[in-house]
Structure 1
């Protein structure tokens, strides 16, 4: 895997992690990283999560800058979508299903929300894989 591909992958991880935190944690307030505590510690756990994904985005920027890919659109978007999909799928399986740490939207139909999150992750992974395969076939 090229440096730029790793950078784009990490950029996908960071951006989808940031979107998850902003949309699901802050705007909709459906869940926090640590749901089973008081509000102070929920906000603290979300803040640490945001710090982590910010560092991932920072590192990805350095790798993208150093990598200077020849085919930026297909390589970048394929690796970006692989990173985003991988993050969502791992986060969904581990936190929503295995650990039951939190759910996308707790309450009625929470399994439907959780599985929809996983299906979206698989869609991102599939599109990313197709784009990278197209690059390799060219």
Structure 2
């Protein structure tokens, strides 16, 4: 690809920088929610999305949670398809959004849903400290990695003078 075409693609990506970020964020959020629901809810049976009621209510809450994760993931991929069609998909910014979205979701889940609201725990009948530390530290690492990529791409946006 020649330099002029590459520069044109970069400008398009910068113009659509917010859409790249949002698409990545939704994909990360949806992907992490989908993995959480599939692994911890369905395969391991460690908890449901909402454990403060009956098993039936927990299963219904899992279904709603699964639908949410699926919609976020599929919706984000439609956004990627549009960005690619426009020649405006910015992989680095998108991955930053993906990592930030996944990390923020897991941190919210681990701190707010598990601890503040108490609607479920990672697992029951065990000492939770190791589970909580692993969950929340890995979430924070994902979030920080995503924010680093987002801040790096923000420099490119400022350098090109596009908001």
**Superposed pair shares fold, TM > 0.5:** yes
Q: 2:76 aligns with which of 60, 76, 82?
A: 60
- SS for the counterpart of 1:82 is helix
Partner of 1:128: 146
Give the distance between the partners of 2:89 and 2:71, measured in 1 at CA.
26
Contact 2:50 2:57 in 1 (8 A): yes
Give the distance between the partners of 1:70 and 1:110, measured in 2 at CA.
41
Contact 1:3 1:66 in 2 (8 A): no
Give the distance between the partners of 2:134 and 2:115, measured in 1 at CA.
12
Give the distance between the partners of 2:125 and 2:133, measured in 1 at CA.
14
Partner of 1:71: 90
Give the distance between the partners of 1:129 and 1:7, measured in 2 at CA.
15
Partner of 1:108: 126
Q: Kindly indicate whether residue 123 of structure 2 is the aligned counterpart of residue 117 of structure 1.
A: no
- Number of residue pairs aligned between Structure 1 and Structure 2: 137
TM-score, length-scaled by structure 1? 0.89
Deviation at 1:4, TM superposition (A): 1.6
Assess, with a 3 A threshold, how the Cα gap between structure 1 residues 63 and 70 changes in structure 2: closer, same or farther: closer
Matches within 5 A, 1:11-22: 11-22=27-38
- SS for the counterpart of 1:2 is helix
Partner of 2:9: none
Give the distance between the partners of 2:25 and 2:133, measured in 1 at CA.
23
Runs of at least 5 residues in structure 1 that lack an aligned partner in the other structure: none
Deviation at 1:43, TM superposition (A): 1.3
Give the distance between the partners of 1:40 and 1:108, measured in 2 at CA.
23
Partner of 1:29: 45
CA RMSD of aligned residues (A): 1.7
Partner of 1:90: 108
- SS for the counterpart of 1:8 is helix
Structure number with greater Rg is: 2
TM-score, length-scaled by structure 2? 0.76
